[in-house]
A and B are shown apart, each in its own frame.
Chain A
């Protein structure tokens, strides 16, 4: 049953496009139409992936990057949801904070890498500085938006049942605001992966990001692309995991996505 649902969920036309692109890429490289040192064929990348997996490098690099993503995303979620609720529930807090948020929001996290390096050196902390701030904003803004857009009628229901402020938030506002919070969490998770990889490329020499740099410097484009493909696959897996978690925690989420 679960297997059938999984097969039904696979985007077959999209997968077919990917397969077609890979085949075309292979044909173009093999035929010599594109003959560049740093453009290996997909088959070479697949062999490189196998080589990395056999050496055990891939597993340890994936573990490092995933731990950085988990810590960074969790910290951003805790901060973002808390601050989002505060701003969503308090017009005064919004009035005093929104200007600052709008200034901070467009700042690229990677620009903080040199400062983080000075403060924390080559470490996971440096990765966190680069990761947490940019991930915080979509979570915070979506949470705030979700809380402020809870319909007045739902608040009236709470008052009718004489719910306390705490119960109104937990039983009415939180469930109603969940879809945008989950949307923010999904955006944040993808962003956390990208930023963790960038932080590893420019700051902390560890994980998948440093793997990309290391293999580039070692003149192994096949292994470099194998790392890049791995990042893509992890992105798909994280998104799928996030959706499964949302469905488990939020039964109405499947209906919201238009699924039976």
Chain B
């Protein structure tokens, strides 16, 4: 009897071991999803210290990444344009924009969009072309021959301004642009060194509070509900790690719910990551967070970039989104 019990136990253990080995072989050496190993999947991600990336900070601080089986390391970066080259090396997931993604792919990098972050919508605009109240500039046609301050020439906001100008019958080359960091734009506008600035919240809100006026949200000329910043990764990594991307999006969705239910606590986390003064943190509106992304969201940007001669190669937008 005892002998029978022992041999049954041994058989059971052998079967269990076989199942484990078979599962490990089936998973392959590169697959380490939470479901297969039950240990957190390490994800290295970058962020820019602006409110756009609040869901990731909330997901990290409130344990949503952990709850979805991710061990996420968040590293700060200075600007978006340098990030596409870092995926697959230093980071798995980084923030980006459609112009940066499209230009990176056009120059041969294997990068894809894996999740959205913010959409620009008519009922919650975050980006503005702002002029001084006494400037005499009321619309795109008044900007001909003027100097406009942009955070990045070739960046998503300036591309949208060029598209907005063209759509309104203004030759984009008739408006000169100069790069100025967002925080320095109010002084440049006040000193009349520039005639208009391309600004985002919370800087745009502060500019308007000081008597300047917004003449347009340039992003909305690209689409009424248009993709703004989003998350990208290396194409090869994304295709091999769909469960990880699914967990990433699920954690961000949880963070979004948390922000909606606990805005005050979310603002504390925002202050911790941005180091903005309390008054600015309180005055900063939350953008429209949405994490699902489609190829069409990228396609509208590809068309806009081509229209203003910012993309000279054909890029197949349908292959630029890898998401569960």
Contact = CB atoms under 8 A, between A and B. Distances in A.
Interface of B: 49-50, 75-78, 82, 85-86, 89-91, 181-184, 186-187, 190-191, 274-277, 280
B90 A121 contact: yes
Interface in A208-247: 210, 213-221
A37 B190 CA distance: 10
Interface size class on chain A is: 20 to 34
A39 interface: yes
A70 interface: no
B183 to A, nearest CB: 5
A122 interface: yes
Contacts of B49: 214, 217-218
B183 A122 contact: no
Contacts, number: 63
B205 to A, nearest CB: 12
Given A36-B190, A219-B276, A219-B277, A117 B78 contact: no
A36 B276 CA distance: 18
Contact of B280 (A201, A205, A219): A219
Given A205-B76, A220-B277, A38 B183 contact: yes
Contacts of A194: none
Contacts of A218: 49, 274-277
B78 A202 contact: yes
A107 to B, nearest CB: 20
Contacts of A10: none
A121 B86 contact: yes
A29 to B, nearest CB: 13
9 contacts: A39-B187, A117-B82, A121-B86, A121-B89, A121-B90, A202-B82, A205-B76, A217-B274, A218-B277
Contact of A38 (B75, B78, B91, B184): B184
A215 B181 CA distance: 12
Nearest to B276: A218
Contacts of B90: 121-123
B94 to A, nearest CB: 11
Given A205-B78, A210-B78, A219 B183 contact: yes
A122 B49 CA distance: 16
Contact of A36 (B50, B78, B86, B187): B187
Nearest to B75: A122
B141 to A, nearest CB: 30
Given A205-B76, A218-B276, A37 B82 contact: no
